[in-house]
Homo-oligomer: A and B are copies of this chain.
Amino acid sequence: MASRNVEKLDLSFSAVPDKPKKDWVIVYLRILAFLATASATLVMALNKQTKHFVVATIGTTPITVSITAKFQHTPAFIFFVIANGVASLHCLMMIGVDILGPQFDYKGLKPVLIPILDMMSLVLASAGDGAATFMSELGRNGNSHARWDKICDKFGSYCNRGGAALIASFIAIILLLIITVMSINKLKPKK
């Protein structure tokens, strides 16, 4: 209650009547971003498909070879999982800071550190997305120049789950972009 009073006092000086409301919007956005990054991480990390291919037939018994497509086979997808995992942890941490925040240091590094950390996790997530997107595109279409054949015709549901993870991570990128712009913008009215 004491901290509320201080905030009200501040508002009367800086003429920003919607500050507490804005804080809650950013918390909700962070929760959505956390859900998006966490689901992108989990869907990609659990992505696995085993298929049985008939390689030969002896008499009437087919000899099959089972091939498993896993995300661990592609370095870009490992990086995607790490990047989105780190971004989701960042979101979780920032939700804690936003809710418990006013009790801790407010005048020191914190107001600048939050947009910088937001920006860094956005940059990391965006690098992960770039890597995974173009690797998935290669899996779907192949590259005739490099003689890399597409694999999505063989591992359809593996590719679809990877695509779902990518869509979740694109939503996360947009949310993180809005959050970062908002938290940079928060530094403005005090000028």
What is A's interface to B at a CB cutoff of 8 Å? 69-70, 73-76, 79, 107, 111-112, 115-116, 119-120, 122-124, 126-131, 133-135, 137-139, 143, 145-149, 151, 177, 180-181, 184-185, 187-188, 190-191
Contacts and interface: CB of A to CB of B under 8 A. Distances in A.
A184 B181 contact: no
A128 B134 CA distance: 10
A27 to B, nearest CB: 21
Contacts of A137: 75-76
A112 B129 CA distance: 26
Given A74-B143, A116-B184, A187-B191, 18 more contacts: A73-B146, A76-B130, A107-B191, A112-B184, A116-B181, A119-B122, A119-B180, A119-B181, A123-B123, A123-B126, A123-B177, A127-B130, A128-B130, A131-B131, A139-B146, A146-B151, A147-B149, A187-B187
Prevailing SS type, chain A contact patch = helix
Contacts of A111: 188, 191
Contacts of A126: 123-124, 126-127, 130
Contacts of A115: 115, 184
11 contacts: A76-B137, A112-B184, A112-B187, A116-B184, A123-B123, A130-B130, A131-B131, A135-B138, A146-B151, A148-B149, A184-B184
A148 B129 CA distance: 21
Given A129-B127, A131-B133, A146 B112 contact: no
Contact of A134 (B73, B79, B139, B181): B79
A148 B145 contact: no
